[in-house]
Homo-oligomer: A and B are copies of this chain.
Amino acid sequence: MSARITASELAAAYQTPDGDTLPALGPVSFHVEAGSFVCLLGPSGCGKSTLIRLLAGLQRPSRGQALLDNHVIMQPSRRVGLMFQDANLMPWRTVLDNLTLPLEVAGVPKDERLAAARALLPALGLADFEAAYPGALSGGMAQRVALGRVLIQKPDALLLDEPFGALDAMTRERISLDLMDMWERQRQTVLMVTHDIHEAALLADRVLVFSRRPGRIAADIRVTLPRPRRLEDTYGAAFGQIAGQVRAAISRT
């Protein structure tokens, strides 16, 4: 199952301390086809996280609307899995219990929860740390737990806000390939914020480049490389061309 995400004239603003309005995003309009993998790039502070929050139903737009399969998004839905920019773990829960939280909330029986979590741990490189508390994790380890927590839900759509920001190049590559594998099997809709052009080109069907705040779509680049993709493909010319296109779009913002 996967879901279609639509933004129509979507905009968000915040209030500043002195009562002014700070436009943070848009208006932007776009469709994300069901089952497609879209990467979002844009300058820091341009409203990417704000967009993610709008699509997750955590926040209401100041203008326009966001739709999930043609239903206006009014509040969060379990069909949508959200990974925050911060790891946002519960410090009083172990790695294992943080991982299983979404299943616990959904009422999945305990043994199923544990099985699901234990299946995920090795891929996340956390097999030895299931009993650790978040305070004892390195930055990258915490981020991997957060990623695991959203993947375990098996939602129809994934909203990932810089899921690999704190990971080293190797781990990043490995985990993003794992993610791609999973996605190729399950074909959820994925919307992922990243700052890494190569990563975007490797993973995405489509790259949206945002302009500076208030972010609008500066470029909408289709990545037509064939799937399944492998890491080796990134050394090819086609890949280089796409990456160059993205880079150029970013430079223009």
Contacts and interface: CB of A to CB of B under 8 A. Distances in A.
Contact of A138 (B16, B44, B144): B44
Nearest to A126: B45
A172 B247 CA distance: 13
A131 B18 CA distance: 9
Given A44-B167, A167-B195, A170-B250, A162 B136 contact: no
B170 A132 contact: no
Interface of A is mostly: loop
A125 interface: yes
A176 to B, nearest CB: 13
Given A17-B132, A138-B49, A41 B168 contact: yes
A44 B14 contact: no
A183 interface: no
Contact of A140 (B45, B166, B197): B45
Nearest to A137: B45
A104 interface: no
Contacts of A131: 16-18
Nearest to A213: B138
B195 A86 contact: no
Given A41-B169, A44-B167, A44-B171, 16 more contacts: A16-B132, A17-B131, A17-B133, A44-B139, A44-B140, A45-B138, A45-B140, A86-B139, A139-B162, A162-B166, A165-B166, A167-B195, A169-B247, A170-B250, A170-B251, A172-B195
6 contacts: A14-B136, A41-B168, A42-B168, A44-B167, A45-B125, A162-B166
